């Protein structure tokens, strides 16, 4: 039974639970996880914490909540700020949670190499806590791996981690797609985990769980994060059904995720041969076409996709293990038509084209 979203290229958040995941619900525990009494939730939290090499885990209903309560738990006393990539989800796509929940300023950095933050990028923008009352000192560095599908090299992560900890800073990882980073590099989760104070691990992206993330960290950190989770309406009662599906997803889908990388590379090679230009290299399950250099009118993307029975919008193409081969072939046809149209109708955009708004925002 192919999942409904086999022709979905907008995001890997559209993955859907498999039949065995749905069947597993009937076996799920039904304890109240606010009272920490749900066996399957406890088992999932323990499993992810152990996989990443941390003391404890905390199931959250979303990666946004997981990231924001992690950063809130690290950020104790304003004025303070965090450093992150200017594309970082915690900054760009979590509705300003850092300002409201953490009262934090953000030093968002454009990676000087165009790919990932280096230690030098961070040192150049770091705000020391040196008594200057004009400043909001840096307390946390928040990385993301993968970021827009790009892999953050472990050697750079190691350099950043050592410097952060030598300078009294905390290092958080938005590991929404740490699964993809591990698949692409062969690096074990624990090897990544040892450099961070906390990691938010999404279950609902390429892995295929319908909901949620697990935040991992020290026992003391998770205790406080759970407090902020409850404060923000994140307490879930019978969470076992979600945990059970996530367990099945890890057991059955993780091994299939490499297929998304293979399909993405196949389409990237095809697009390159068409003469399409990429914003960043295709390293895992995303392709990012360059919105400006390709002179593509964003408004044509979705309609041309519909013509070939695929769902595309904006300039990011996302692949998952549920993407069908038929949809990949249709995507190639759509890209060919988009390229040909743009050659005869070049589009010069003078407006930012957001990841999620194809065309000029209304
Ligand atoms: C890198 C990254 N981090 C965090 C999230 C947040 O996850 P959620 O959508 O579950 O809030 C997403 C997307 O959903 C993401 O792409
Ligand atoms: C938009 C963002 O929240 C989502 N994670 C995506 O990558 O599609």
Both tokens assigned to 63: 């990666």
Side-chain-facing half-sphere of 253: CA atoms under 13 Å: 28
pLDDT tens digits for 255-279? 999 999 999 999 999 999 999 999 9
Both tokens assigned to 210: 């319908």
Q: How confident is the model at residue 349 (pLDDT cuts 50, 70, 90)?
A: confident
Residue 51's alpha-carbon distances to 33, 191, 202, 205, 358, in angstroms, are: 21, 10, 13, 18, 38
8 Å CB contact between 3 and 320: no
pTM of the model: 0.96
Question: Is 144 close to ligand 1, i.e. is its CB under 6 Å away?
Answer: yes
The arithmetic mean of pLDDT across residues 229-237, rounded, is 98
DSSP label at residue 313: -
Question: Is 13 close to ligand 2, i.e. is its CB under 6 Å away?
Answer: yes
The arithmetic mean of pLDDT across residues 223-231, rounded, is 98
Kindly provide the residue ranges of all beta strands, DSSP E only, lying in 63-103, ordered along the sequence.
Answer: 80-85
Both tokens assigned to 128: 């020391």
Which of the ligands is closest to the CA of residue 202? Answer: 1
Task: Give the Å distance between the CA of 160 and the centre of ligand 2.
Answer: 25
Question: Is 11 close to ligand 2, i.e. is its CB under 6 Å away?
Answer: yes
Question: Is 93 close to ligand 2, i.e. is its CB under 6 Å away?
Answer: yes
Q: How confident is the model at residue 107 (pLDDT cuts 50, 70, 90)?
A: very high
Whether this model's ipTM surpasses 0.95 comes out as yes
Task: Give the Å distance between the CA of 64 and the centre of ligand 2.
Answer: 10
From CA 100, how far away is CA 233, in angstroms rounded? 15
Q: Whose CA is nearest to atom 2 of ligand 2?
A: 93
**pLDDT for 359:** 36
Q: How confident is the model at residue 3 (pLDDT cuts 50, 70, 90)?
A: low
pLDDT tens digits for 29-55? 999 999 999 999 999 999 999 999 999
Residue 351, Cβ density class (10 Å: 0-12 exposed, 13-18 middle, ≥19 buried): exposed
pLDDT tens digits for 120-146? 999 999 999 999 999 999 999 999 999
């Amino acid at each position: 039974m192919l999942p409904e979203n086999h022709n979905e290229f907008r995001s890997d958040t559209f993955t859907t639970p498999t039949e065995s995941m749905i069947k597993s619900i009937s076996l799920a525990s039904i304890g109240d996880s606010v009272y920490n009494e749900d066996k399957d939730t406890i088992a999932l939290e323990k499993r992810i914490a152990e996989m990443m090499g941390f003391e404890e885990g905390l199931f959250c209903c979303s990666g946004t909540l997981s990231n924001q309560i992690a950063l809130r738990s690290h950020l104790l006393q304003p004025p303070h700020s965090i450093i992150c990539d200017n594309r970082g989800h915690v900054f760009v796509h979590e509705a300003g949670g850092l300002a409201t929940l953490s009262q934090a300023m953000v030093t968002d950095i454009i990676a000087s190499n165009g790919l990932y933050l280096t230690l030098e990028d961070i040192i150049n923008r770091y705000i020391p806590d040196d008594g200057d009352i004009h400043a909001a000192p840096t307390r946390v560095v928040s990385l993301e791996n993968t970021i827009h599908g790009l892999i953050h090299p472990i050697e750079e992560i190691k350099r950043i981690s050592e410097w952060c900890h030598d300078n009294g800073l905390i290092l958080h990882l938005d590991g929404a797609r740490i699964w993809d980073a591990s698949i692409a590099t062969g690096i074990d989760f624990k090897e990544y985990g040892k450099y961070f104070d906390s990691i938010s691990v999404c279950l609902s992206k390429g892995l295929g769980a319908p909901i949620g993330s697990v935040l991992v960290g020290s026992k003391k950190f998770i205790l406080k994060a759970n407090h902020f989770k409850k404060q923000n309406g994140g307490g879930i009662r019978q969470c076992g059904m979600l945990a059970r599906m996530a367990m099945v997803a890890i057991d059955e889908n993780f091994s299939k995720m490499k297929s998304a990388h293979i399909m993405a590379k196949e389409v990237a090679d095809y697009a390159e041969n068409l003469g399409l230009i990429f914003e960043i290299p295709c390293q895992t399950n995303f392709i990012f076409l360059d919105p400006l250099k390709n002179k593509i009118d964003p408004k044509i993307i979705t309609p041309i996709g519909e013509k070939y029975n695929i769902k595309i919008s904006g300039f990011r193409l996302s692949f998952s293990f549920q993407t069908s081969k038929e949809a990949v072939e249709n995507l190639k046809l759509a890209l060919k038509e988009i390229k040909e149209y743009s050659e005869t109708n070049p589009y010069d955009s003078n407006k930012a084209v957001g990841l999620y708004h194809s065309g000029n925002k209304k």
